[in-house]
A and B are shown apart, each in its own frame.
Chain A
Amino acid sequence: MSRPGGPWGLGLMRPGCAVDLGRARFWVGLFAAIYISTRIPTLLSQIHVDPARFDPVGLCAWLPRPLHPATVWAQSLLVPLASVAFALGWRFRVVGPAAALLVAWTLSYRNSFGMVFHTENLLVLHMLLLGFTRSADAWSWDARRREGPPPHGSDYQWPLRVLATITVLSYLVAGLAKLRYGGWSIHWLDGDLLRAQVAFDNLRKEALDHIVAPLGPWLVRREAVFPILAWATMLLELGAPLLLLWPRLVRPWVLGVWGFHLGVLLTMAILFPYPLTGVAFVGLLRCDRLWRWTPLRRLAERAFGESVELPRDEVSALPSLC
């Protein structure tokens, strides 16, 4: 069956609604504001790190030495505020790109002391995309001033498809890494490496007097489970790009990946808050029913006026991935 807007089901040119893109911006921005606020002590603790440990990555790759403490203070305090303004869609033409770049810069700096946090990659990529698109034409402070229903058109659809593409390809790269590292062998699938990884990670945390995962040591004693977990992980990661071709796979895939991250939390005490809160999947799921939940809708209407929802007849005419 052919689809409007492209032969591969990408739907880049299909009409979309500013509300969907606005919601995506709101949740990603809100997540960034909360997440980075909780990381302020970590950001500030880097002032005291020996400069010899500075190993800049990402946007900070060109920095010859760590920043002056005053600059670290300034960016650490400014970035949560910028993220709030991003979430609210306030003066977005300027604030959107600026906040996205500031988040990318600050998190690059945080990752420049020897430890790259894989929990933050997608957040930065999503913010950069949303910050440079028309994601504040609805569900935003800026849109309160505009009269009439929120606009729609392909300008509001393709950013969501790009967002989804970034998400699924990230999981593909993670899956391929497991094959590439072993010289393109399928050794990872027999489960031994995964079992040893779970055991090692818990042992390492025990050695640092840190919280040991509640299920980790228990699961390590059950060898037969690991080949199943290894296959499931690989299917989810290598199969991720299929979502772009078959949108019907979106819900089971999101559920599977969410379960995978929950498993990582329970067996290794490694928290991936972005996917676990569901925000990482905003480009894939519309979840209209959730947004129609009265308390949430009233709250959104109070903040963003009439820009929070399209008339029902227009909603039904729009395509949805889920």
Chain B
Amino acid sequence: MDHAAERRWLPWLVWVGSALLVLSPLRREVMEDDFPLSTYPMFVESRLRAKLHRAYLDPGEGQARRRLDTSAIVGDAQEPMAAVMALMRAASHKRLRAPTCREIAGRLRAAGESPEAEVQLVVESWEPIAYYMAEADALPAPAESRIFARCRVGEGAR
């Protein structure tokens, strides 16, 4: 192929190749995401009744348990979605439950929490629209709540 012909084909080749690459996630299931060629699964799932994954610290000795924030869960306050995903993955993969719990316990241990306090990873069932439609003084509670992993702060990874 002469040089001029090659130069004429290159843009088309790159254009077609790039277009096919960006469209290639259409061959996968929507929830089979990847990077940077994404299926863009955000905002597609029905959240009319949704599961909420949370982490709590139960200090014991009759004290009320308190919920843990993003930095306690993933060590970085900037990324709430990373915390959500870490808890979701732990809930759906048994092998991740203990390591995720111990990782959180390790952070709390480093922050000086009592080794006897208990970390609880919880999945709750909520109706998000009903929550925001309710009056502020009568906020609904989760329809269902289940602890899927628990560990002592003292078991936390150093």
Contacts and interface: CB of A to CB of B under 8 A. Distances in A.
Nearest to A47: B75
A169 B41 contact: no
B141 interface: no
A145 B37 CA distance: 38
B36 A177 contact: no
Given A203-B128, A204-B84, A220-B129, A181 B44 contact: yes
Contacts of B59: none
Interface string A21-64: 00000000000000000010110010011101101011000000
B41 A173 contact: no
Contacts of A55: 89
A125 B22 contact: yes
Nearest to B98: A52
B120 interface: no
A319 to B, nearest CB: 15
A77 interface: no
Given A120-B35, A193-B46, A207-B54, A181 B96 contact: no
B96 A200 contact: no
Interface stretch (B66-74, B111-119, B147-155): B66-74
A180 B25 CA distance: 12
Chain B interface SS verdict (over half) = helix
Interface residues of A, number: 71
B82 A113 contact: yes
B102 A50 contact: yes
B143 interface: no
A203 B84 contact: no
A296 interface: no
A195 B129 contact: yes
A195 to B, nearest CB: 6
A265 to B, nearest CB: 14
B80 interface: yes
A49 B73 CA distance: 10
B80 A169 contact: no
Given A196-B48, A204-B52, A158 B126 contact: no
Contact of B15 (A10, A39, A48, A217): A10
28 contacts: A12-B11, A42-B82, A45-B74, A49-B103, A53-B86, A53-B89, A53-B96, A53-B100, A55-B89, A57-B33, A58-B34, A115-B82, A115-B86, A118-B42, A121-B35, A121-B37, A154-B7, A158-B11, A158-B15, A170-B38, A173-B26, A173-B40, A181-B41, A197-B43, A203-B126, A203-B131, A205-B80, A208-B54
